[in-house]
Structure 1
Amino acid sequence: MKTVKYILENKIKTIVSVSPNDSVLEALRIMMEKNISALLVVDQEVLLGIFTERDYARKIILKGRSSAGTAIHEVMTANPHTVGFNDAIDHCMQLMTNRHFRHLPVVENGQLMGIISIGDLVKYIIEDQRETINQLESYINS
C-alpha cells in the first residue's frame, strides 16, 4: 500500500506559506499567483495553522472584515490535522472525507515536509486503478 511519502515524492517540492502576521490580502495575492487554494501558516519553521479559500469566505467575506486589515492568525484554522510519511493514502482520504477538508499538512519528526490535497489523492487513485486495469488486461490477454 502506498503512503503519503509516495505522493510527496511525486509532487513539486515547494512549501508555500505565510507568517501569522501577514495580512489576508497578502495571502490571497500569493494564492492567486501560485494558483493554489490553501496556504500553510508558519513561524520559524513551525506549522501554526492553515488558511484556505473556505476560511476567507466564512471568516472575512461573510463577516464583513477587511482583507487588508486582518492578520492571518486571526482567521486561520489553528493546529490543523496533519499526517506523516507513513500514513496510508486510504487513511488520508477517509480523514479528509469525514472531516470535510481538502488539504493535509505533512509533518515528519516535527518538521513540516509539505502538504497534500484531495486532488493529489484522487490523482493517485486514478493512476492506481489504471495500473490495475492494465495488469488485468495483460493477464487476460496472455
Structure 2
Amino acid sequence: MKTVAQIIQSKKIKEVFTIDADDTVLSALQKMADNNIGALPVTENGKVVGVISERDYARKCVLKGRASVGTTVREIMSSPVITVNSKQGVSECLSLITDRHLRHLPVLDGGELIGLVSIGDLVKETIAEQEQLIRQLEQYIRGEV
C-alpha cells in the first residue's frame, strides 16, 4: 500500500494553496474557483489551523444567510484541523476520513504543510491497487507467473 508521500508525488498539481484565517470567505471561494479545487488549508502565523471547503461555505454561510464578503474564513472553517504525515498509508487515511466524516486531510511533516490529500485521491489509489492485485491473481491462475 502506498504512503501519503507517494500520493502527493503522483498528483498533477504539486502546489498547495492556502488561505489566511482572517481573509474573507469570498477570497477563499475565489481562490478555490481559480485553482479548480474544493478546499483550502487555513493558516495563521504560518501554522495550519483549519480547512475551509465548499461544503463549509454551503452549510455555514449560505444556509445561515451570511455574506461571503463580510464573513472571515475563521468563522466557518472546520477546526480543529485533523492532519496526517507523509509516512502514513492510504488505508489509515481512508479510515480517518470515514470515521471523522472528512473529505480533505492536510499533510504535515515537522509541522510544515507539504500537501493536501482528498478522499478522491485515496479512493483512486485504492482502486488502482485492487486492479493490480486482480491482474496478478489472474496471471497466477493462468500459470503465467
- TM-score computed with the length of structure 2 as normaliser: 0.92
Q: Which residue of 2 aligns with 1:103?
A: 104
Please state how far the C-alpha of 1:87 moved relative to its aligned partner.
1.3
After superposition, what is the alpha-carbon deviation per residue over 1:62-121, rounded to whole angstroms, capped at 9, x for unaligned? 111110011111211123100011212111101111111110010111111111000000
- The alignment partner of 2:48 has SS state of strand
**Contact 1:45 1:112 (C-alpha < 8 Å) held by counterparts:** no
Q: Which residue of 1 aligns with 2:127?
A: 126
**Contact 1:18 1:42 (C-alpha < 8 Å) held by counterparts:** yes
In 1, the alpha carbon distance for the partners of 2:111 and 2:125 equals: 26
In 1, the alpha carbon distance for the partners of 2:37 and 2:65 equals: 23
| 1:61-80 to 2 correspondences below 5 Å | 61-80=62-81
In 1, the alpha carbon distance for the partners of 2:78 and 2:40 equals: 11
Task: List 4+ stretches of structure 1 deviating above 4 A.
Answer: none
In 2, the alpha carbon distance for the partners of 1:61 and 1:4 equals: 33
- The alignment partner of 1:134 has SS state of helix
Unaligned runs of at least 5 residues, structure 2: none
Q: Which residue of 1 aligns with 2:7?
A: 7
One-letter identity of the residue aligned with 1:18:
I
In 1, the alpha carbon distance for the partners of 2:80 and 2:102 equals: 14
Could you tell which deviates more after superposition, 8-17 or 99-108?
A: 8-17
Please state how far the C-alpha of 1:122 moved relative to its aligned partner.
0.7
| 1:1-142 to 2 correspondences below 5 Å | 1-11=1-11, 12-141=13-142, 142=144
In 2, the alpha carbon distance for the partners of 1:10 and 1:45 equals: 25
In 1, the alpha carbon distance for the partners of 2:80 and 2:90 equals: 21
RMSD: 1.2
Unaligned runs of at least 5 residues, structure 1: none
**Contact 1:39 1:50 (C-alpha < 8 Å) held by counterparts:** yes
Number of residue pairs matched by the alignment: 142
One-letter identity of the residue aligned with 2:7:
I
In 1, the alpha carbon distance for the partners of 2:21 and 2:43 equals: 7
- TM-score computed with the length of structure 1 as normaliser: 0.93
